[in-house]
Chain A
């Protein structure tokens, strides 16, 4: 029983990390029609920034979020401006941002070399310490990630559902011409979304900077699982992202505990493939289509 609860708790915080990682991608794809492969680069860059500020400047790694989130937001804004300037279609954005991803990867390899960089544990207490709830222990770092994820997802959900900005964006995605006729300023609103998506990449980066040993290619193993969460979650549906992350996190956590730990990541992909075959639209509805009904 205890093992079961422990596995459950581990799955939940893992889900938190995944949804924080995926929410920005999901927003960009669903609302801006940008499949941002470079999201992974933004995350890694932020992770390196966290590393630099904590080791060289002696900051507390969690505090570096005040720098990484704006950096991520700026990158997101820049990309959005680029995409609107060149009028790139959905598929074009996938290839163009894939190119950006490669450029970032090479640039980071030049700056930080291919060596493993890890925050020393004395300045990164969050990695080793744990939160105790009765007999159950969960990683402090992943708990922080989960808190951020809930904040981000619920915040975005509220923004989309209950503010003028959100209503404008949803209206535009559904009916661009009508929305424009009613005075929705999409270029401006899209920058808001791109900025938020970028900022979540920055936050994810800070978490991963504390969680992983950094190399310029370390994010590659996250690509599949994060896209799995995005696709399962139903595009631009923050609650769906959390739900999908929960499913994947649980599958991973239970595989790791009760079957072969090495197969955990593979199971996530199997879930994705099964779901795509039987429910290609994802486990959750797209937020925008929800509004259409």
Chain B
């Protein structure tokens, strides 16, 4: 394998541009005065990106599917709530403590579970679920931690230059999401990531080839736990009132699994995409009062994605980047300017349109494809998920064309 640059200029510029734009938004919001809700919405997108990405570096990369995300999220949340809400700490010092708590929970769980002989994926999934529910039960029943009454957060101090609470959440949320995505990106492009992918494909073979499987699994589990817990600690500020049900319930694992499975688990971009997509849809549906219908739709999507879309949307997007992106931009602008939708509403419409284009049968877009083939794949596409299933179809099409 030839040694490649970790951040090719195009990727680095892409990251910088996105972050720069996102950094200006709170200032813009104050100057131009668009609805504050957009800022909160974006914070939640960052939150879900962090959670889904932290889940994915363990469960997507190494294949050990965890149902226990809530153990870390809730652990971090309670750390901040107890230190900040009860003992009057400032917000920022609580976050590293939350990370340590999350890392410790992950390390202890990992030490127990990764030492099992014959550990199968199902056992790991249920074991992590049991750990999360167990910690939830402990917090619910033990007065030192909570005892079932819940903890009100009150006002936590933080450095004044971070602005008001919404802006502070926005900036810190963005920072955490950026860290999570960069961690996922770097892992994917390193020996470590290659080792994790090998574990996922066949752990025995990986072991035989000299991948230190136990160390890699422990390391990625701890990283995942730390990220999720830090994000959970920050999220305590957004939630305001911390209860055991909210912190350790099924909602968090459901969503991170859904986002990563739908987005694609083999690529750092997958959970990011899934988080944006699913949070936008959920926000619109809940806003319109269809929370239950939304749950049904999302669960159906989860089933469909498990059965038919092994690579997730990102796998498909890497194959066909341009038409959906163009559709998204055009539809967003149309809905926003002509249609008079809100920014979030337009995004939801545009996502819908882009998804339709993304899943049009390959034949229909052949003329498009011919036009875009010369542009080369987008950033990161060269090392994306290997060919599988429906990848073969366009190749075949092209071969047939060449034959004619």
Contacts and interface: CB of A to CB of B under 8 A. Distances in A.
Contacts of B118: 280-281
B235 to A, nearest CB: 21
Given A96-B307, A102-B295, A277-B116, 16 more contacts: A91-B65, A91-B122, A99-B299, A99-B300, A99-B302, A102-B298, A106-B295, A220-B250, A262-B140, A266-B138, A269-B130, A269-B137, A272-B130, A276-B112, A276-B127, A277-B112
Interface in A200-242: 220, 223-224, 227-228, 231
B292 interface: yes
B115 interface: yes
24 contacts: A88-B307, A90-B122, A92-B306, A92-B307, A95-B261, A98-B302, A99-B300, A100-B303, A102-B254, A102-B302, A105-B295, A106-B292, A106-B296, A107-B292, A224-B129, A227-B129, A260-B141, A269-B137, A276-B116, A276-B127, A277-B115, A277-B116, A280-B116, A281-B118
B92 interface: no
A109 interface: yes
A94 B126 CA distance: 10
Contacts of A269: 130, 133-134, 137
Interface in B235-260: 249-250, 254, 257
A59 B299 CA distance: 34
Contacts of A263: 141
Given A99-B302, A99-B306, A227-B126, A266 B292 contact: no
B162 interface: no
Interface string A77-96: 00000000010101110111
Interface in B95-129: 112-113, 115-119, 121-123, 125-127, 129
Given A103-B299, A224-B130, A269-B133, A94 B122 contact: yes
Closest CB pairs A-B (n = 4): A262-B141, A102-B299, A106-B295, A269-B134
Contacts of B296: 102-103, 106-107
A223 B300 contact: no
Interface string B286-312: 000000110110111011001100000
Given A109-B292, A276-B123, A95 B141 contact: no
A159 interface: no
A95 B302 contact: yes
Contact of A273 (B112, B250, B295): B112
Interface residues of B, number: 39
Majority-rule SS of B interface residues: helix
Contacts of A227: 126, 129-130
Interface of B: 65, 112-113, 115-119, 121-123, 125-127, 129-131, 133-134, 137-138, 140-141, 249-250, 254, 257, 261, 292-293, 295-296, 298-300, 302-303, 306-307
A139 to B, nearest CB: 23
A109 B295 CA distance: 11
Contact of A96 (B126, B137, B257, B303): B303
A31 interface: no
A39 interface: no
Interface string A3-37: 00000000000000000000000000100000100
A37 to B, nearest CB: 10
Contact of A106 (B116, B119, B122, B299): B299
A273 B300 contact: no
Given A266-B138, A280-B117, A224 B299 contact: no
Given A106-B296, A276-B116, A231 B123 contact: yes
A270 interface: yes
A276 B125 CA distance: 13
A96 B306 contact: yes
A94 B141 contact: no
A110 interface: yes
Contacts of A265: 137
Contacts of A231: 123, 126
Nearest to B261: A95
